[in-house]
Structure 1
Amino acid sequence: MKNRFYLACTRETVGTNMSFHCVNGNGYSANVGLAHTYTREEAQAAWDSGREIELPVSADDVDALTVLHVDHQYVPGKTTIEPGCVKYVGFVKGQWDGNDLYWLCNGSLPTTDFSKASTFESPTDSAEIVWLPFHLADAVKRRTFNINLLDRRRMIQGAGLKTPDHIKRYKRRKGSSGKVRWNCPCCGKISWQLNPYDFDGCRNISCEEWRPRYEQ
């Protein structure tokens, strides 16, 4: 069993990056370095009382799979030349994964993994590439975790956490289409809807009190 956990918020995913609760409750961030670390007991308690969109995951497993990304908001958006600089990196103009830049990588397609970015002694003239001194991008790189690498069995249950009853009930009510099952409080008819929090109305035309809201 594990004893280090992060608390993810699946609603705050940015591109393919999973977001986590930050230290001292300072919102959410895709920067794993800012994530609050919970013990197993704290993670279980947070999950037991949390929303369906919150998910504790093993910090050790997340850390092992992080990748270095650079958010376009923290670097110049146009080519920057510095006198005497002999180490540049280039990113593809107008392409992002969420906020993350795609870097030139010799012998391969552009990549968001900054650790694989190729360095160049001098920029080339290209309208499709933005060139930056390496140190500018390197100074703002951050560790991120791709949500597609989430292994719930290994990173959650296998790490020693138990799925809360309210999460189990939510999963049973949620269909494969992403809709949630509701029972009309008037006639009991089953209705499927995307809104998981408020009943949108019964589709049974004989149930006047609970007919769909768009027909009211």
Structure 2
Amino acid sequence: MRNRFYLACFRDNLGSSISFHCIDGKGYSTNVDKAHVYTLSEAQKEWDTAREYDQPISADHIDSLAVWKVDHQLIPNKPLITADVEEYAAFVEGKWDGNDVYWLNIETADTSTDFLKASVLSRANVLGLSRSYIVIPYSLADQVKRRTFSKEDYKPRVMVQGAGLKMPDHIKRDRRKKINPKSRFNCPSCGKINWQFNPYEFDSCSTCGHIGDLT
């Protein structure tokens, strides 16, 4: 195993994706490629003085399980079909995992946030699709896809202790306390932060009343 770690910030998770401390301390992001890389000794030092929601994790394990997702804020949210484009992708309208959209795979008749599972659709394919899908050029989504890591794939015994890290005493004390069972979402309508039990899709906004489409 290589001597590489990322520092997660569970407070800033978005949907099912874990957030990480960015390179040189420049904020937080669910984009794994923006995460700062620490050696084992650096990661242990960070953890020794960390907050209860900061967690160093083996970068090798994260890289092996990372999934390419697309933030709806970076792509058109209305159908875009043009005469000069031959390849398209389709995502479910009004359904998000955090900010990430669900892509259609026509072979399995299923949807997934994993962009690599999205079907590359021809012009003929998209003409017969339901109006519940938004069709855009495949290249637009491909250009802004990013690697993410799901909290469902986080295995501390393997990715933390098994990677050589030792839990600090103050973290042990903090984790004996009740953990917040809710996940943080930004409302896709007004942008306000909402906390909810559903970790995968946006439910509703307590500020503007926007209701997510969970169908």
Name the TM-score, length of structure 1 as normaliser: 0.79
Query: How far apart are residue 176 of structure 1 and its match?
Result: 7.1
Q: Which position in structure 2 is the counterpart of 1:143?
A: 147
Q: Is this contact kept in 2: 1:18–1:30, CA < 8 A?
A: yes
Corresponding residue for 1:34?
A: 34
Q: Please state if 1:45 is matched with 2:45.
A: yes
Query: Which amino acid counterpart does residue 119 of structure 2 have in structure 1?
Result: S
What letter is aligned with 2:159?
A: M
CA pair 177-63 structure 1, distance change in 2 beyond 3 A: closer
- Partners of 1:96 and 1:67 lie apart in 2 by 15
My pick for the range that moved more, 119-128 or 42-51, is 119-128
Question: What does the per-residue CA deviation read over 1:58-114, in whole Å, with 9 as the maximum and x for residues that have no partner?
Answer: 000000000000000000010012222110100010000001110111224111110
Q: Is the 8 A contact 1:73 1:99 kept in 2?
A: yes
Q: Which runs of 4+ in 1 moved over 6 A?
A: none
CA change 1:12–1:102 in 2 (3 A) is same
> Does residue 112 of structure 1 match 2:113?
yes
> Which structure: larger Rg?
1
Q: Secondary structure at the match of 2:136?
A: strand
CA RMSD of aligned residues (A): 1.5
Which ranges of structure 1 fall in alignment gaps of 5 or more residues? Answer: 179-216
Equivalent pairs, count: 177
Q: Against the structure 1 CA distance between its residues 177 and 74, is the aligned structure 2 distance closer, same or farther, given a 3 Å change threshold?
A: closer
Q: Partner of 1:57: helix, strand, or coil?
A: strand
Contact 1:100 1:112 in 2 (8 A): yes
